[in-house]
Structure 1
Amino acid sequence: MKQLIRTAGLLVISLLLLVQTTLAQGPPISLASATPSDATGIREGRLIGVIAGTAAFYTITLLVLRKQWYKKRVPFHSFNDNGEWLQMDKIGHATTAYCMSRGGYELMRWSGVNERASILTGGLLALLFQTTLEIYDGHAEGWGFSKGDMVANVAGTALFMGQQYGAGQQVVNLKYGFRKTIYPPYRPNLLGRTTGQQMLKDYNGQQYWLSVNLASVLPVGPSFPRWLNLDVGYSGSGMIGGHENPRVFDANGTEIKFDRHRQFFLSPDADLSRVSTFSPSLQRFIGTVQFFKLPAPSLEFSRPNGLRFHPFIVPKE
């Protein structure tokens, strides 16, 4: 449920940015080239709309969560879930915080807020949203405030803010990938029954990618494609429980055992927000919504399978 709410937040930001792409007046500043001197003056109508929309989403989210998810409140407490799911959930927290920070920044820039204030506002909005959910967890029966989650939230926000303050661009991005797996049927309530649920719940099917823009880190010439990235990915497999797998059996009563292991990937990617033929406002929109890793050939390494090559997308397991 929490991950669903976070995803909804990203979608709301994306839709608002789509509106600005089609209605923007004057050339907005591209994320790849924004600097503190890019201030264009506050556009009051846009800023009021962004503030009102953000406040409404935040308030509605809290009300829905209190009614649907956090019905039974208990005294505030914490718990340690750092060992669960081979740390896939922690990387998911960092990725979500990064994307929300970037989305909040873009909305502020679209509203005419100066560069440095937009960076700070985007980061603080992401942390406010994520921290509120963690505090709710701290009062929820069966859950608890997770220090590991908060560290991941801060790390994702810091990755965006540090790059934008220091380099004026996002040299590295965090992205998400997904593939169907064989594991949800064994624990559908935990891992999801439908594809949509599994995209949020099945950590075996998720991959998280650190996407590095090559032209920003290598001494390349002007003819080198500025949009070309190289991604390092991480995932886990064989998990039907957080810390360990419960016993499960097939139709014949034979016990099935899954090997829990980590997977590492290397794959090319494209940062479409750097395609020079796109308008600056389209670059801004793409830069915020390209949350998904584009399908491309990849190398995978894991303990049980060694080195494997995938010609297009990571296959189903």
Structure 2
Amino acid sequence: MIIPLRFLLILELLVLLQRPAQAQPTPVVPAESGINQGRFIGVVAGTAAFYTITLLLLRKQWYKKKMPFHTFNDNREWLQMDKVGHVATAYCMSRGGYELMRWSGVDERASILTGGLLALLFQTTLEVYDGHAEGWGFSKGDMVANVAGTALFMGQQFGAGHQVVSLKYGFRKTIFPPYRPNLLGKTTGQQMLKDYNGQQYWLSVNLASILPVGPDFPRWLNLDLGYSGSGMTGGHENPPMTDAEGKPLTFRRFRQFFLSPDVDLSRINQPDPLQPLPWQRFVGTVQFFKIAAPSLEYNPVNGLRFHPLLLPKE
């Protein structure tokens, strides 16, 4: 599954998450009080509409040319940035579905299962669509990544009762889209979806959840491990290109690794991670984008580099 469709799903899901949080600032319905029928019906109807409308639009706009079902091995493309993106998307959707169920009064176990199954339903449906699409195909690697992202959420929620680690997305402008604008995007909005060189995915670890810290330690402080790639103007390899003077252009493809502090806004003034307030639940899910902060980078081309705030354009 390619990145633009995944981000459309995330953005629509974040809209759904923000609406109930703003409309109902009341505490979460306790488990013993049962399901809040009004909220539950609204969530079920909204989810069904979101699923149906999204698929109809995709079939009309994206999957116009259909082929017999076939597979497609893209595991070596884009330095695996696409696969990491699948993990992050499945994680975000699983968490979003879970929080909507909990907000509706559904019990913990059922909410975890529902959130994970909804995420896999969305992702699997899109992969089946890819299996019938010209130029694409059903990707086993994508499905493994989808399951991994869902498992990351469900495993933590079942095991720890909250998210010790979360997945986030970051973006920076790069020099590569002008060389292949149709593939990497012509506008900034398109490049956020298409340019893998500009995307970063972050594994955000809550330090207070893994370290023996005292009561004065900031519960909102996270440490993020980031991954990205650079120098990519094609999936498996870069096609031959020339500059304005006709001279050959060569970009070296390489991986990048980052280390950066982060803030988990959902844990600010949170006394108990197992009993978050409604706004904390939804803020934690909506906070899919990495907050700009100083970072340390390592890559095989430039070695070790420090970035005071934003990552440089390259």
TM-score, scaled relative to structure 1: 0.94
Is it true that 1:311 corresponds to 2:304 in the alignment? no
- 1:117 — aligned with what? 110
Instruction: Report the Cα offset of residue 57 of structure 1.
Output: 1.1
Say if 1:94 and 1:155, in contact at 8 Å, map to a contact too: yes
**Matches of 2:55 and 2:13, distance apart in 1:** 17
Matches within 5 A, 1:84-123: 84-123=77-116
Is it true that 1:69 corresponds to 2:62 in the alignment? yes
Instruction: Report the Cα offset of residue 20 of structure 1.
Output: 2.0
Matches within 5 A, 1:66-215: 66-215=59-208
Say if 2:31 and 2:105, in contact at 8 Å, map to a contact too: no
Instruction: Report the Cα offset of residue 6 of structure 1.
Output: 2.7
**Matches of 2:295 and 2:50, distance apart in 1:** 38
> How big is each residue's C-alpha offset from its partner over 1:193-238, in whole Å with a ceiling of 9 and x where there is no partner?
0000000100000000000000000000000000000000000000
Is it true that 1:292 corresponds to 2:289 in the alignment? yes
Q: Which secondary structure state, in structure 2, belongs to the residue aligned with residue 112 of structure 1?
A: coil
> How big is each residue's C-alpha offset from its partner over 1:215-263, in whole Å with a ceiling of 9 and x where there is no partner?
0000000000000000000000000000000011111110010000000
- 1:19 — aligned with what? 19
- 1:53 — aligned with what? 46
Q: CA RMSD in A?
A: 1.6
What count of residue pairs does the alignment treat as equivalent? 310
Say if 1:95 and 1:174, in contact at 8 Å, map to a contact too: yes
**C-alpha distance 18-255 of structure 1, shift in aligned 2 (>3 A):** same
Is it true that 1:281 corresponds to 2:274 in the alignment? no
Say if 2:4 and 2:194, in contact at 8 Å, map to a contact too: no
Runs of 5+ in structure 1 lacking a partner? 30-36
Instruction: Report the Cα offset of residue 40 of structure 1.
Output: 4.0
- 2:7 — aligned with what? 7
**Matches of 1:313 and 1:241, distance apart in 2:** 25
- Identity over aligned residues, as a percent? 75
Say if 1:40 and 1:114, in contact at 8 Å, map to a contact too: no
**Matches of 1:39 and 1:127, distance apart in 2:** 29
Say if 1:101 and 1:123, in contact at 8 Å, map to a contact too: yes
Q: What is the identity, as a one-letter code, of the residue corresponding to 1:207?
A: Q
Instruction: Report the Cα offset of residue 79 of structure 1.
Output: 1.3
Q: Which secondary structure state, in structure 1, belongs to the residue aligned with residue 238 of structure 2?
A: coil
**C-alpha distance 50-136 of structure 1, shift in aligned 2 (>3 A):** same
**Matches of 2:74 and 2:147, distance apart in 1:** 17
**Matches of 1:173 and 1:28, distance apart in 2:** 22
Q: What is the identity, as a one-letter code, of the residue corresponding to 1:16?
A: L
Instruction: Report the Cα offset of residue 192 of structure 1.
Output: 0.3
> How big is each residue's C-alpha offset from its partner over 1:119-154, in whole Å with a ceiling of 9 and x where there is no partner?
000000000000000000001111110000000000
Say if 2:98 and 2:111, in contact at 8 Å, map to a contact too: yes
